[in-house]
Amino acid sequence: MASTIKEINVAELREWQASGKDFQLIDVREQNEYDEAHMDGLLIPLGSIPENIDKISSDKPVVIHCRSGKRSANAISYLQSNHDLENLYNLEGGILAWQNS
């Protein structure tokens, strides 16, 4: 019973930020990757998602990103399957797309 993963692109995310939309941004990369470049999101490395469920909002949109979109998609699949969260969006292309926009 695979849920569809909703996606948001960089332009849409920038619109959300510019309009002051209330959402949470989560980065599922590792600390060293975050240290090199980040978007000011909450760092929850992919492997530590299970013990950090309480930090993930269930009452507003949550945009999850990684380097390119693969790990964040895995995080969303896990959260949808195991924690019934339907407010999650994968950032298309991850931080690479963000940096190149």
Which residues are annotated as catalytic?
66
Cβ-contact 14, 30 below 8 angstroms: no
